[in-house]
Chains A and B, each alone.
Chain A
Amino acid sequence: MEKEFVPYELALRLKELGFNEPCFGRWWFRADMHKLNEEELEILRSNYFELPEHYILAPLFQQAFRWFREKHSLQHEVYYLDDLIKNGYKITDALTNTELTEFQYKDNYFELRGYEFEEAELDCLKKLIEIIESK
C-alpha cells in the first residue's frame, strides 16, 4: 500500500504549495543531533488541523494529481510510447488548452529512454510541482 503514497520530499513540497486535504497517511520526520534524517509513513486517516508536530500529510498519487487538476487546472497524462516500449508523460493547462510540456523522456545524454509507469508518474508529479513553484 505504501506505493500509493507520494514520497516524503514531494509531500513536503506539496504542503508548501498549499495542499491540505484529508489524507489516508502521514509522514513522520525528524532530523536528529547527528543529522541523520528519519522519515516514516504511517497509514492513518489524517487531517491537516489535527496533525501532531513532526508530521505532514501524505497524499495518494491520485489525490495529488486530482489536486493539480482542480486547483491549478493542470492535467497530466502518462502515455505509452510504442517506439521505446516505455512510458512518457505530458502536462496540459486545461484552462488555456496548451501543452506545457511535450512528452518527457528520461535522458541519459546519449539516448532518450522511456519510463516505467511508476517512474513516469513520479517524475510527472515532480514536474507539476516545479511548474507551480516557479509561478
Chain B
Amino acid sequence: MEKEFVPYELALRLKKLGFDEPCFSWHASKTHGLAYGKVIKSDLIQDAVLAPTFSQAFRWFSDKHNLHGELYTVDMGAIEYCFQIRDLYSENYIYDNFMGAGDSYSGTFDSFEESELECLKKLIKIIENKIQ
C-alpha cells in the first residue's frame, strides 16, 4: 500500500508549501516509514509529516495553485510515459518533459509511476521557485 503515498522527501516539501489536508497515512519520521489511519496535521508530533496519496497531491496543486499535472503516453515501439503541466488560469501548458522545447526535455519514463513521481517533483519545484 506504500506506493499509494507520496514519499517522505516530497511529503516534507509539500508540508513546507502549506499542504494541510486530512490524509490516510503519515510518515512518522524520515526513517520510521508510514503509519496508517485517518489523520490531520494537528494530530502529528515532532518529525511526523502527512503523507497524501498521489491523487490528493495532484488535486491539491489543481485546487490551490491552478496547476494541473497530466501524464500521457507515447508510442516508442512500446508504450512509454511522459508528463505535462497546465496552468488552469491561462489554459496553457507551462511544462512538457517530452514535447517541450530546450531544457524541459527529459526523455520518456518506463512506467506510469516514474512519470507520476517526476511530475509531482516538477509541480513542487514550480511553486517553490515562485515562493523564493
Interface residues, chain A, with chain B CB atoms under 8 Å away: 1, 4, 22, 24, 43-45, 60-63, 66, 69, 75, 77-80, 82, 85, 92, 94, 97, 117
Contact = CB atoms under 8 A, between A and B. Distances in A.
Interface of B: 1, 3-4, 21-24, 36-38, 53-56, 62, 68, 70-73, 75, 77-79, 86, 91, 112
A94 B73 CA distance: 10
A79 B36 contact: no
A117 B68 contact: yes
A45 B54 CA distance: 17
Nearest to B112: A69
Contacts of B70: 78-80
27 contacts: A1-B21, A1-B22, A1-B23, A4-B53, A24-B4, A24-B24, A43-B24, A44-B38, A45-B36, A45-B37, A60-B53, A60-B55, A61-B55, A62-B54, A63-B4, A66-B112, A75-B73, A75-B112, A77-B72, A80-B68, A80-B70, A85-B91, A92-B73, A92-B79, A94-B78, A94-B79, A97-B75
Nearest to B72: A77
Contacts of B36: 24, 45
Contacts of B22: 1
Nearest to B24: A24
B73 A77 contact: yes
Given A63-B4, A97-B79, A117-B62, A79 B72 contact: yes
B37 A77 contact: no
Contact of B24 (A1, A69, A92): A1
